[in-house]
C-alpha cells in the first residue's frame, strides 16, 4: 500500500485527535472547546519520518478568562503542539531556544538514545538563540509527553509541556500481540494546575488564584453524543498535584498507561488517579439528554472533595453503538525475568528545614548536587535489576525513571521495627516509567517499599551504543545527528516527579554499561 503524507499548516484543528473525525465542533459561548489542541505540522515527505520545527519562546496567552499571561511556550501556544507519529517512525525535532534562559527537551517515557534524553547528564544546555536537532525512533505505541529538564519546576510551570502520541499501525505485522481497538473517538486530555496573580502573571510561589486546566483551558467544554464511546488519553503534567478523575454516574474502563495497552481491560472504575508525569488510557460511554451538561471532577487523593475540571455538553447525534465491545485480551506483556537479579535499594527521605524553612530532599542520604560517580548505581545492558524504592517520609513521591520501563512487583509496608505490616502484589502486569511511592504508613521509622523490576534493555530501534551511559555530567559529549556523530550521556536520571522535590535534590542516576565491560568511546 502506498503511503501518502502532506505537510499541513499549524492551524487550529478541533476534532483532529480522533478517528473518525466528526468535523469541526461548535464553540460554546461560556467555555472554550477542550478539543482545541494543535497538531505540529510534519514537514518531511517521507511517510516513515515525522519532522517538525519547535521553538521555545516567551508569548502572551489567555489562560484565566479575561487575563493575559506572559508565559513560556512551544510554538507560541500552551500546551505545546501535539506531536503525532506511528510506531517505528523516525522523529526529527528541529528545536530552537528563543527563551531568555537555557533549556532542553526531555521525552518523558520514550526509550530514546541516551544523548537524546534532554537531561543535564545527556546534553549540554541549549543556550538562548541556539538550536539542537533531536532525532530518534519512536517504537512504543503509547501517549508520552515532552518538557524541559533544566530548571524543570520553573519552566514547566511557566508553560513548557506538550503531548507526544505514538499510534499503533493496524497493519504492522511486527506486533501481532497488539489487538486493534476499533474506531473509538479519541481525545488527548492534558491535566494541569497553575496559580495566577491578579494581573495575569504566573505565580511560582503558593500565592495567587489556583486554576485547574484541561488542555491549557479553564473549565473547557467537550461536545459528546449520548451512547457514543470515548477514548481519553490522559496525562498529568502538574508540578505537584495528583489528579483523581471522576465522571459522576459513569464507570470508567482503563485499557492502558505509561507503556501502552494493558493485557486486559480493567472495568467498573469509579475514578482514576494519575501522579505527576503519569499517563492513563481510559474508555467510557457518556449518557445524557441532548442539551444537558455533565461536570467532570478532580477529587482529592484521600478525600472526596471535588473541583470541576471540564463539562460534557450532550448534543444530538446519529446512531450510537453504546458501550464498546473491547477484546478480552488487549496484548501480551512478557514478565521481566528476575531469577538471580541483583537487588538495589533507594531510600527517599528529606532533611530538617533550614533557617528559611527550605528542605533538602534526598535519595540514599544525598541530594543530587552532592552525588559523585561512586554514588551512582550501575547496571549492564540487557540485564534486569530489582529496585527497592523505600519512602520514609510522610509525603507521597511519584518515581520516574528515564530511558527504560519497569514492572511493579509488590508494595510492602513496615512498622518502626522493620516488621512487615502488609505485602501487596501488583494487581496486574504493566510496563511503566512513573509510579507512586506511597507515604509511610505511620510515625517516623515506618516505611513503604515499592519493589520494581527494571529491564535495562536497548529496546526496539536502539543500539547498545545508544543505551550505555556513564560518568556523570563530566562525560557529556554533544551529539550531532546531522553529522553522524553520536554523543555520550553521563547516565540515566531517576527522580521524584514532584518537580520542586527534584529541584531540591530528590534525584539520582544509574550508570548503564555494555555487557562485555568495554564501552564504546
Chain mean pLDDT for the chain: 90
C-beta separation of 75 from 61 below 8 A: no
299 with 348, same domain: the answer is: no
Residue 6 has pLDDT above 50, yes or no: no
Domain at 393, CATH number? 2.60.40.420
How far are the Cα atoms of 75, 108, 362 from residue 149, in angstroms, in the given order?
18, 10, 19
Q: Is residue 158 part of a domain?
A: no
310 with 442, same domain: the answer is: no
Task: Put residue 101 in one of left, alpha, beta given phi > 0 → left and psi -120 to 50 → alpha.
Answer: beta
354 with 474, same domain: the answer is: yes
Q: How many domains does the chain have?
A: 2
Residue 520 has pLDDT above 60, yes or no: no
Q: Is residue 210 part of a domain?
A: yes
What is the DSSP-derived secondary structure letter of residue 482? G
* Structural domain boundaries enclosing 219: 185-314
Nearest to 400 by CA among 207, 259, 513: 259
When pLDDT is cut at 50, 70 and 90, the band that residue 517 belongs to is low
When pLDDT is cut at 50, 70 and 90, the band that residue 347 belongs to is very high
Q: Is residue 198 part of a domain?
A: yes
264 with 365, same domain: the answer is: no
What is the DSSP-derived secondary structure letter of residue 249? T
Domain boundary (267, 297, 314) is at: 314
Q: What's residue 20's pLDDT?
A: 29
- List strands edge to edge, sheet with 68-74: 68-74, 49-62, 89-98, 131-138
278 with 372, same domain: the answer is: no
Domain boundary (295, 314, 333) is at: 314
266 with 347, same domain: the answer is: no
359 with 508, same domain: the answer is: yes
Contacts of 380 (CB under 8 A, 6+ apart): 456, 512, 513, 514, 515
- Looking at per-residue pLDDT, the higher value among 177 and 86 belongs to 86
Nearest to 166 by CA among 144, 134, 189: 144
Q: Is residue 60 part of a domain?
A: no
How far are the Cα atoms of 180, 231, 332 from residue 176, in angstroms, in the given order?
10, 22, 10
Residue 29 has pLDDT above 70, yes or no: no
302 with 354, same domain: the answer is: no
Asked which of 251-260, 313-322, 365-374, 470-479 is least confident by mean pLDDT, the reply is 313-322
Asked which of 21-25, 239-243, 262-266, 298-302 is least confident by mean pLDDT, the reply is 21-25
Q: Is residue 299 part of a domain?
A: yes
278 with 360, same domain: the answer is: no
Q: Is residue 272 part of a domain?
A: yes
Residue 424 has pLDDT above 50, yes or no: yes
How far are the Cα atoms of 163, 466, 479, 499 from residue 484, in angstroms, in the given order?
28, 13, 8, 34
375 with 284, same domain: the answer is: no
Residue 26 has pLDDT above 60, yes or no: no
472 with 381, same domain: the answer is: yes
Residue 291 has pLDDT above 70, yes or no: yes
Q: Of 176-190, 213-227, 471-485, which one has max mean pLDDT?
A: 213-227
pLDDT tens per residue across span 153-197? 999 999 999 999 999 865 555 555 556 677 788 999 999 999 999
Q: What's residue 171's pLDDT?
A: 53
When pLDDT is cut at 50, 70 and 90, the band that residue 518 belongs to is low
In 38-98, beta strands by DSSP E: 49-62, 68-74, 83-86, 89-98
Query: How many percent of the chain have pLDDT more than 70?
Result: 90
289 with 378, same domain: the answer is: no
When pLDDT is cut at 50, 70 and 90, the band that residue 355 belongs to is confident
Domain boundary (314, 330, 364) is at: 314
Nearest to 332 by CA among 179, 434, 126, 460: 179
Amino acid at each position: 500500500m502506498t503511503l501518502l503524507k502532506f505537510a499541513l499548516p499549524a492551524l487550529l484543528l478541533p476534532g483532529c485527535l480522533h478517528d473518525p473525525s466528526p468535523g469541526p465542533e461548535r464553540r460554546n459561548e461560556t467555555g472554550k472547546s477542550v478539543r482545541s489542541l494543535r497538531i505540529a505540522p510534519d514537514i518531511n515527505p517521507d511517510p516513515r519520518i515525522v519532522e517538525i520545527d519547535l521553538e521555545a519562546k516567551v508569548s502572551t496567552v489567555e489562560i484565566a478568562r479575561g487575563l493575559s499571561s506572559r508565559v513560556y511556550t512551544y510554538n507560541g501556544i500552551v500546551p505545546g503542539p501535539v506531536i503525532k507519529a506511528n510506531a517505528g517512525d523516525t522523529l526529527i525535532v528541529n528545536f530552537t531556544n528563543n527563551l531568555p534562559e537555557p533549556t532542553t527537551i526531555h521525552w518523558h517515557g520514550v526509550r530514546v538514545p541516551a544523548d537524546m534524553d534532554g537531561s543535564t547528564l545527556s546534553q549540554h544546555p541549549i543556550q538562548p538563540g541556539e538550536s539542537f536537532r533531536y532525532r530518534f525512533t519512536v517504537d512504543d505505541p503509547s501517549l508520552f509527553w515532552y518538557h524541559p529538564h533544566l530548571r524543570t519546576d520553573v519552566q514547566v510551570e511557566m508553560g513548557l509541556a506538550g503531548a507526544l502520541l505514538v499510534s499503533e499501525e493496524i497493519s504492522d505485522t511486527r506486533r501481532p500481540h497488539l489487538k486493534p481497538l476499533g474506531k473509538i473517538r479519541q481525545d488527548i486530555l492534558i491535566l494541569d494546575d497553575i496559580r495566577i496573580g491578579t494581573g495575569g502573571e504566573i505565580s511560582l510561589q503558593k500565592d495567587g488564584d489556583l486554576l485547574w486546566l484541561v488542555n491549557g483551558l479553564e473549565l473547557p467544554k467537550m461536545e459528546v453524543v449520548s451512547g457514543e464511546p470515548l477514548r481519553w488519553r490522559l496525562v498529568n503534567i502538574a508540578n505537584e498535584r495528583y489528579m483523581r478523575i471522576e465522571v459522576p454516574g459513569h464507570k470508567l474502563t482503563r485499557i492502558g498507561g505509561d507503556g501502552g495497552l494493558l493485557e486486559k481491560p480493567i472495568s467498573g472504575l469509579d475514578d482514576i488517579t494519575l501522579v505527576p508525569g503519569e499517563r492513563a488510557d481510559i474508555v467510557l460511554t457518556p449518557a445524557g439528554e441532548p442539551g444537558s451538561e455533565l461536570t467532570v471532577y478532580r477529587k482529592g487523593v484521600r478525600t472526596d472533595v471535588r473541583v470541576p475540571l471540564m463539562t460534557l455538553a450532550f448534543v444530538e447525534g446519529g446512531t450510537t453503538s453504546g458501550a464498546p465491545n473491547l477484546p478480552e485480551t488487549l496484548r501480551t506483556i512478557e514478565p521481566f525475568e528476575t531469577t538471580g537479579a541483583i537487588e538495589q535499594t533507594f531510600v527517599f527521605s528529606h532533611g530538617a528545614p533550614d533557617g528559611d524553612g527550605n528542605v533538602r530532599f534526598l535519595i540514599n542520604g544525598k541530594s543530587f548536587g552532592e552525588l559523585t560517580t561512586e554514588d551512582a548505581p550501575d547496571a549492564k545492558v540487557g540485564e534486569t535489576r530489582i529496585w527497592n524504592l523505600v519512602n520514609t517520609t510522610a509525603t507521597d513521591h511519584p518515581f520516574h525513571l528515564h530511558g527504560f520501563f519497569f514492572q511493579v512487583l509488590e508494595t510492602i509496608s513496615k512498622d518502626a521495627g522493620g516488621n512487615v505490616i502488609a505485602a501487596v502484589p501488583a494487581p496486574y502486569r504493566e510496563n511503566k516509567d512513573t509510579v507512586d511511592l506511597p507515604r509511610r504508613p505511620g510515625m517516623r521509622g515506618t516505611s513503604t517499599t515499592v519493589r520494581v523490576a527494571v529491564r535495562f534493555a536497548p529496546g526496539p530501534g536502539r543500539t547498545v551504543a545508544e543505551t550505555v551511559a556513564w560518568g556523570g555530567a563530566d562525560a557529556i559529549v554533544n551529539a550531532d545527528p546531522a553529522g553522524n556523530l553520536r554523543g555520550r550521556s553521563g547516565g540515566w536520571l531517576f527522580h521524584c516527579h514532584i518537580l520542586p522535590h527534584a529541584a531540591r535534590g530528590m534525584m539520582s542516576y544509574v550508570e548503564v554499561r555494555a555487557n562485555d565491560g568495554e564501552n564504546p568511546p
